[in-house]
């Protein structure tokens, strides 16, 4: 079923070593940033130069003040909208569950950006030959049996990496062991059909930027539509075949009639 | 740290105070998180809600600089609760392992004047005689406390605390503690700190839980504790609380200083501080006419446990077995092996009476033109020091500066800083490019005293002959040149010291002394020590024969006659003939079960991972904490960590060898009451030098013994002009003065500009919007910054008046790719009474939109 990551927001200390490790391993360029004023987060969001960022959210919940550090990156959907939307098959899903992008096939239509429910794929707007950029789940490291760069650098094990099924079990165990501490939900377990990156939180998810999603995959409508195609084709083919025989028979009859007329 | 990083995971209660460990020591949080997963409670006390607070179970926002009031209130809470509920505390530890029952000379605790006994207003200092024990040979004790059934404990329901405490001798330490801290009731502490009484009650009760037998609480602190005019007393008060709660020596306990930068611990161990030689031996002073006089002065006389205690023997390690002489003579022999130690002692510089050699006075002396030259190795004092406008101006008084670093920084470029005409500055600046840590070999000692070897992985950048060089090579080449110059000049001062100095760090296998490529491994070997000739060491009835040149196994075997050399006694045994350089050990297996990892690297002393571990067991050698045993007496021997001191447990040892656990102190017991610090036997609350209020505790506004640079170079702000409390700190994304990080694009991207943090309530009052440019001003300077407006800094109510805190970063300067003002343009040139560490954590400021 592929690999998964359990991000325990209660264990993240906001050091942003993951952000730097990501830039370093993927050799990503630097963004020209400014202090935003209402947060110390930077860069402001995912972009063609930035595969992961940490949001710093000041939240009041249950009369308690929380400062939550929420890591964002591609969620690596089980049923990826970007992959489905791509006209030319530039996206692929690896055996580990990483959604990866092959720029040599890309025609630059950016349908993937429209199709992603999390707004992840970014475009190199500054470039004359722009490509789509997004987190690769360090597919290169994973294919060599190694752990993604952001995860191996985390000092507090806030990012736990393993088989996706095991991560779900671990998440459920943590919630069961500390029901007062966690919101009773693993974000990403079922959202949009399930994602490789999943989250535990002490405050409601929508407070820290993880919005409610339907459980059905974003590819659902496409599936419905595509499901009808073979039946439609069969009906049309049957009808056309029927017409063919009808017209053929009519012609035969007509020919026979004229022949008999000639014989009079 | 008395303990070490991994050990934090063994704690039941974690108190982080004066530290933002999550941001400045992220790896420590690996173990804090593990402890929390096992049910530990994390308490964070800080003026500001930061990334550490975000992980805390209880966050206490207090006014900056009021640690002693906060912790004093905790002491009162513990004393009262202990009297009422002695079953919740380790009374045996308190009575046997601390000086709680000892009788003091006749000291008075401060009254309204805020001064302890012995104050000399003319000298501006204390005569500390009255703080000492009644008898410095065998002190008297309070017999009632020695009985486990002191009736005071029984009066647990008495609402009148006095009644119980007054049964004790009025010069008994525990009685004095109560007399002193009874003024620190929660209402008063609340008025001073701004923390509500309910919150104080909650946090005191929670931390006091670690006082139970078998429970452990750790205190983690760093610069937020020390950078005050009473910084040493801040640390003292943590030690007192930990002793009261029996948290010293045990796993998951201790007083744990998180050191501010990589290898600070190693620098302190190896004598880079001005007041100590390598191995924490006090520096020679001008009163020390010869080696014998010096040794007599620095070797403390033994104070034996008082009659009535089951113990009868204080190790007094410094003087035991003539240790101080062994260590000092071996050290002199490491440096001058050919010379008689009595002669080579005279080569050492002697500290002059009344002269302070710490950072603040050095800058003053430079400004006064008395210091002509300055060597800087990896330092940036015009960003990192206090009141840097003053420091920057002072630098121009130097004739020359030798600047050694891996990047150019503000101090190296002080002569072309903004607003200065370089042609007006005559200082000659020499730049020597250094090798970064991965470009050289050597050891780095972490806060937990683990000395870990690092290998060179890459060459420094640049052309082969112009590359940066390791500090070791730079100093070696410099010394080679010095020796040449001294050789040529028969009248050079202290000529023999330079000419006779042994500096042979030739790599193994090479025969000729190598003055270009010294070996770090050879330095490690000299620090540990070897035999200068064939020598038979005798210790405790055993002998050990050493061949000339053989490494010494342990500091027990160092010789007081000069037949051994050892650069630092604490590291003796870290490099042996049998095992080689133990700092290189990398066996990642923990046999102890409590995370000692004793075969990973090496730690001083004698690879003891938790110091004072003799206090981790009861009088029979049974661990207080059965879940996390550090040491235990089993079948006639100690198992676990390397035991502090040696010998059988108190109840099993023969008369005359029943040893008290704190072997480095002359009295062998932990000091609740002390007599070593300049500013009081127990910590007393004083306001910072610049404070928004009058001291509520006494008429003495600030620490009377604090170091204060005169007004003309150090203006003092008042609350009418500078109404807000300022505190300075670092962020996790930049390192120290930013020399190493403000030129790294991936880090600059995260923290691109100098900013200050302002509470949304104050920002609202001042009309400051998030991201606005603001000016922050103190009596000493002004800075520009971007405002980060946040809910994390909130107005406190101090004695019914609102007090706002402004949070200021200090890591910026005018060099590098990411420029900005340093918060240290604002900080005052005042220092702690004992160490002169600057008070950069609390001062007054004003803020306005730019």
Q: Kindly state the average pLDDT of the residues A6-32.
A: 97
| Torsion A232-A234-A235-A240 (CA) sign | positive
Residue with tokens 């700092």: B583
Q: Residue A219: its pLDDT value, please?
A: 82
Q: What is the pLDDT of residues B560-597, one digit of tens each?
A: 999 999 999 999 999 999 999 999 999 999 999 999 99
The chain-wide mean pLDDT, for chain A, equals 93
Cα distance from N-terminal residue to C-terminal residue, chain A: 79
Contact at CB, B54 and A42, closer than 8 angstroms: no
State how far residue B790 is from chain A, nearest Cα, in angstroms. 7
Which structure tokens are listed for A31? 């963004």
Q: How far is it, in rounded angstroms, from Cα B563 to Cα B400?
A: 41
Alpha helices in chain A (DSSP H): 17-26, 81-85, 111-115, 139-142, 149-153, 164-177, 220-262
Is residue A153 predicted with pLDDT exceeding 90?
Answer: yes
Q: Residue B238: its pLDDT value, please?
A: 98
B369 part of contact set with chain A, CB < 8 Å: no
Q: Kindly state the average pLDDT of the residues B196-218.
A: 98
Q: Residue B517: its pLDDT value, please?
A: 84
Q: What is the DSSP letter of B306?
A: P
Q: CA of A36: which chain B residue's CA is closest?
A: B771
Predicted confidence band of residue B165 (pLDDT cuts 50, 70, 90)? confident
CB contacts, 8 Å: B769 with chain A: 37
Predicted confidence band of residue B483 (pLDDT cuts 50, 70, 90)? very high
Predicted confidence band of residue B309 (pLDDT cuts 50, 70, 90)? confident
One DSSP character per residue, A130-150 reads --EE---TTHHHHTTT---HH
Q: Residue B540: its pLDDT value, please?
A: 85
CB contacts, 8 Å: A47 with chain B: none
**Smallest Cβ distance to A37: which of B749, B751, B770?**
B770
Mark which residues 90-149 of A lie under 8 Å from B by CB: none
Q: What is the DSSP letter of A218?
A: T
Contact at CB, B49 and A65, closer than 8 angstroms: yes
Is residue B489 predicted with pLDDT exceeding 70?
Answer: yes
Report the percent of chain B where pLDDT is more than 90. Answer: 90
Asked whether B93 and B242 are in contact (CB, 8 A), the reply is no
Q: How many CB atoms are located within 10 Å of the residue B601 CB?
A: 24
**Smallest Cβ distance to A67: which of B54, B745, B749?**
B54
By CB atoms closer than 10 A (0-12, 13-18, 19+), residue B622 is middle
Residue with tokens 């060089």: B469
CB contacts, 8 Å: A27 with chain B: none
Contact at CB, A35 and B755, closer than 8 angstroms: yes
CB contacts, 8 Å: A35 with chain B: 751-753, 755, 771, 786, 788
Q: Residue A263: its pLDDT value, please?
A: 47
By CB atoms closer than 10 A (0-12, 13-18, 19+), residue B512 is exposed
A20 part of contact set with chain B, CB < 8 Å: yes
Helix (H) or strand (E) holding A54: strand A53-61
Q: Residue B106: its pLDDT value, please?
A: 80
CATH topology of domain A3-79+133-208: Alpha-Beta Plaits (3.30.70)
Residues 6+ apart with CB under 8 A from B738: B383, B811, B812, B813, B816, B818
Cα distance from N-terminal residue to C-terminal residue, chain B: 43
Mark which residues 710-769 of B lie under 8 Å from A by CB: 731-733, 745-753, 755, 769
Q: What is the pLDDT of residues B345-365, one digit of tens each?
A: 999 999 999 899 999 999 999
Torsion angles phi and psi, residue B16, rounded to 5? -105, 115
| Torsion B509-B512-B517-B520 (CA) sign | positive
Is residue B207 predicted with pLDDT exceeding 70?
Answer: yes
A39 part of contact set with chain B, CB < 8 Å: yes
Q: Residue B715: its pLDDT value, please?
A: 96
Is residue B498 predicted with pLDDT exceeding 90?
Answer: yes
Q: What is the pLDDT of residues B230-276, one digit of tens each?
A: 999 999 999 999 999 999 999 999 999 999 888 999 999 999 999 99
**Smallest Cβ distance to B749: which of A17, A40, A43?**
A43
Q: Kindly state the average pLDDT of the residues B299-306.
A: 91
Q: How many CB atoms are located within 10 Å of the residue A251 CB?
A: 10
The chain-wide mean pLDDT, for chain B, equals 95
Q: How far is it, in rounded angstroms, from Cα B596 to Cα B6?
A: 8
Q: Residue B262: its pLDDT value, please?
A: 86
State how far residue B444 is from chain A, nearest Cα, in angstroms. 20
Q: Kindly state the average pLDDT of the residues A84-102.
A: 95
Which structure tokens are listed for B270? 């190896």
Cα angle B582-B584-B590, degrees, rounded to a multiple of 5:
80
Q: What is the DSSP letter of B313?
A: B
Contact at CB, B771 and A68, closer than 8 angstroms: no
B790 part of contact set with chain A, CB < 8 Å: yes
Q: Residue B156: its pLDDT value, please?
A: 54
The residue ranges of DSSP E strands in B721-763, in sequence order, are 724-729, 755-759
What letters, b where the CB count within 10 A reaches 16 and e where it falls short, cover B314-341?
A: bbbbbbeeebbbbbbbbbbbbbbbebeb
Q: How many CB atoms are located within 10 Å of the residue A19 CB?
A: 27
What ipTM was reported for this prediction? 0.93
Torsion angles phi and psi, residue B746, rounded to 5? -65, -25
Report the percent of chain B where pLDDT is more than 70. Answer: 98
Residue with tokens 């023969």: B654
Rounded to the nearest angstrom, the gap between the alpha carbon of residue B748 and the centroid of all alpha carbons in its chain is 31
Is residue B317 predicted with pLDDT exceeding 70?
Answer: yes
Predicted confidence band of residue B143 (pLDDT cuts 50, 70, 90)? confident
Q: CA of A55: which chain B residue's CA is closest?
A: B750
Q: Kindly state the average pLDDT of the residues B488-515.
A: 88
Q: What is the pLDDT of residues B367-424, one digit of tens each?
A: 999 999 999 999 999 999 999 999 999 999 999 999 999 999 999 999 999 999 999 9
State how far residue A174 is from chain B, nearest Cα, in angstroms. 10
State how far residue B770 is from chain A, nearest Cα, in angstroms. 4
Q: Residue B145: its pLDDT value, please?
A: 86
Q: Quick check: helix, strand or coil at residue B523?
A: helix
Q: What is the DSSP letter of B761?
A: H
Predicted confidence band of residue B155 (pLDDT cuts 50, 70, 90)? low
Q: How far is it, in rounded angstroms, from Cα B535 to Cα B552?
A: 10
Q: Residue B643: its pLDDT value, please?
A: 95
Q: How far is it, in rounded angstroms, from Cα B577 to Cα B581?
A: 9
CB contacts, 8 Å: B51 with chain A: 13-15, 67, 69
B843 part of contact set with chain A, CB < 8 Å: no
Asked whether A73 and A136 are in contact (CB, 8 A), the reply is no
Predicted TM-score (pTM) of the model is 0.95
Least confident among A214-223, B333-342, B393-402, B633-642: A214-223
């Amino acid at each position: 079923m592929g690999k998964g990551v359990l991000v325990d927001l209660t264990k993240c200390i906001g050091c942003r070593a993951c952000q730097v490790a990501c830039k370093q391993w993927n050799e990503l360029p630097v963004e020209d940033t400014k202090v935003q004023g209402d947060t110390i987060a930077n860069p402001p969001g995912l972009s063609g130069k930035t595969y992961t960022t940490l949001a710093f959210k000041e939240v009041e919940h249950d009369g308690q003040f929380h400062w939550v550090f929420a890591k964002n990156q591609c969620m690596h959907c089980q049923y990826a909208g970007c992959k489905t939307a791509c006209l030319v098959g530039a996206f692929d899903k690896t055996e580990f569950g990483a959604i990866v992008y092959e720029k040599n096939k890309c025609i630059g239509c950016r349908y993937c950006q429209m199709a992603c429910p999390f707004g992840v794929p970014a475009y190199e707007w500054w470039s004359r030959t722009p490509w789509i950029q997004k987190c690769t789940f360090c597919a290169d490291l994973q294919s060599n049996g190694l752990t993604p760069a952001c995860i191996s650098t985390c000092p507090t094990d806030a990012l736990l990496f393993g088989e996706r099924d095991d991560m779900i079990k671990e998440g459920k165990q943590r919630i069961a062991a500390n029901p007062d501490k966690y919101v009773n939900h693993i974000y990403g377990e079922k959202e949009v059909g399930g994602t490789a990156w999943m989250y535990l939180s002490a405050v409601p998810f929508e407070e820290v930027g993880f919005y409610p999603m339907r459980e059905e995959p974003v590819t659902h409508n496409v599936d419905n539509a595509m499901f009808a195609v073979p039946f439609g084709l069969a009906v049309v083919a049957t009808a056309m075949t029927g017409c063919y025989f009808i017209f053929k028979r009519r012609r035969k009859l007509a020919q026979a009639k004229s022949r008999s007329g000639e014989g009079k | 740290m008395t303990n070490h990083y991994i050990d934090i995971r063994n704690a039941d209660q974690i108190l982080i105070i004066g530290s933002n460990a999550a941001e400045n020591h992220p790896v420590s949080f690996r173990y804090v998180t593990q402890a929390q997963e096992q049910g530990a409670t994390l308490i964070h006390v800080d003026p500001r809600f930061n990334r550490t607070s975000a992980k805390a179970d209880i966050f206490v926002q207090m006014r900056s600089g009021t640690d002693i009031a906060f912790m004093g209130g905790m002491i009162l809470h513990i004393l009262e609760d202990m009297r009422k509920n002695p079953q919740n505390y380790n009374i045996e530890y308190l009575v046997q392992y601390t000086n709680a029952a000892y009788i003091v000379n006749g000291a008075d605790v401060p009254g309204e004047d805020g001064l302890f006994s012995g104050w000399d207003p003319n000298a501006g200092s204390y005569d500390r005689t009255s703080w000492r024990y009644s008898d410095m040979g065998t002190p008297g004790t309070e017999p009632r406390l020695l009985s486990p059934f002191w009736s005071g404990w029984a009066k647990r329901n008495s609402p009148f605390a006095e009644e119980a405490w007054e049964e004790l001798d009025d010069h008994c330490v525990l009685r004095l503690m109560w007399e002193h801290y009874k003024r620190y009731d929660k209402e008063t502490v609340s008025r001073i700190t701004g923390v509500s009484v309910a919150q104080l009650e909650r946090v005191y009760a929670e931390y006091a839980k670690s006082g139970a037998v078998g429970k452990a609480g750790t205190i983690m602190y760093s610069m937020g504790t020390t950078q005050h005019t009473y910084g040493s007393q801040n640390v003292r008060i943590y030690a007192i609380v930990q002793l009261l709660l029996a948290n010293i020596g045990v796993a998951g306990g201790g007083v744990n200083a998180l050191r501010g930068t990589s290898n600070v611990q190693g620098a302190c161990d190896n004598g880079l501080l001005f007041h100590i030689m390598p191995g924490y031996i006090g520096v020679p002073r001008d009163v020390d006419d010869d080696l014998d006089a010096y040794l007599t002065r620095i070797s403390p006389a033994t104070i034996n446990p008082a009659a009535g205690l089951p113990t009868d023997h204080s190790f007094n390690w410094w003087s035991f077995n003539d240790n101080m002489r062994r260590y000092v003579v071996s050290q002199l022999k490491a440096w001058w092996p050919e010379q008689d130690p009595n002669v080579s002692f005279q080569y050492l510089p002697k500290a002059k009476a009344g002269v302070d050699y710490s950072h603040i006075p050095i800058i003053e002396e430079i400004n006064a033109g008395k210091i002509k030259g300055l060597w800087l190795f990896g330092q940036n004092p015009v960003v990192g020091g206090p009141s840097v406008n003053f420091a920057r101006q002072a630098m121009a008084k130097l004739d020359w500066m030798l600047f050694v670093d891996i990047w150019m920084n503000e101090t190296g470029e002080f002569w072309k800083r903004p607003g200065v005409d370089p042609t007006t500055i005559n200082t000659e600046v020499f730049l020597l490019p250094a090798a970064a840590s991965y470009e050289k070999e050597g050891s780095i000692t972490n806060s937990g005293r683990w000395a870990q070897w690092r290998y060179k992985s890459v060459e420094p950048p640049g052309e082969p002959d112009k590359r940066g060089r390791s500090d070791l090579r730079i100093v070696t080449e410099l010394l080679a040149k010095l020796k040449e110059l001294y050789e040529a000049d028969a009248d050079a001062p202290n000529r023999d010291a330079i000419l006779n100095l042994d500096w042979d760090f030739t790599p193994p296998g090479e025969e000729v002394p190598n003055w270009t490529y010294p070996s770090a491994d050879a330095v490690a070997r000299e620090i540990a020590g070897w035999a200068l000739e064939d020598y038979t060491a005798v210790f405790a009835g055993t002998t050990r024969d050493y061949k000339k040149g053989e490494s010494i196994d342990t500091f027990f075997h160092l010789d007081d006659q000069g037949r051994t050399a050892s650069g630092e006694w604490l590291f003796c045994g870290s490099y042996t003939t049998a095992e080689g350089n133990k700092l290189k050990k990398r066996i990642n297996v923990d046999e102890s079960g409590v995370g000692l990892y004793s075969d990973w690297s090496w730690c001083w002393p004698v690879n003891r991972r938790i110091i004072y571990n003799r206090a981790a067991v009861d009088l029979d050698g049974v661990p207080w904490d059965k879940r996390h045993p550090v040491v235990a007496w089993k079948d006639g021997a100690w198992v676990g960590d390397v035991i502090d001191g040696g010998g059988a447990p108190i109840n099993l040892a023969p008369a005359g060898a029943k040893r008290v656990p704190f072997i480095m102190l002359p009295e062998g017991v932990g000091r609740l009451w002390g007599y070593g610090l300049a500013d009081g036997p127990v910590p007393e609350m004083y306001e910072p030098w610049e404070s928004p209020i009058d001291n509520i505790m006494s008429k003495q506004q600030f620490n009377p013994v604090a170091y204060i640079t005169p007004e003309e170079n150090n203006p003092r702000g008042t609350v009418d002009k500078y109404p807000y409390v300022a505190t300075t700190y670092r962020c996790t994304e930049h390192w120290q003065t930013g020399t190493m990080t403000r030129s790294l694009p991936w880090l600059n991207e995260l923290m691109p500009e100098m900013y200050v943090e302002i509470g949304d309530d104050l920002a609202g009052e001042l009309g400051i919007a998030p991201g606005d440019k603001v000016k922050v001003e103190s009596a000493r300077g002004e800075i520009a910054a971007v405002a980060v407006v946040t809910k994390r800094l909130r107005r406190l109510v101090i004695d019914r008046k609102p007090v706002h805190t402004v949070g200021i970063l200090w890591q910026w300067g005018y060099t590098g790719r990411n420029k900005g003002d340093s918060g240290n343009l604002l900080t005052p040139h005042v220092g702690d009474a004992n160490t002169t560490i600057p008070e950069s954590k609390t001062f007054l400021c004003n803020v306005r939109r730019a």
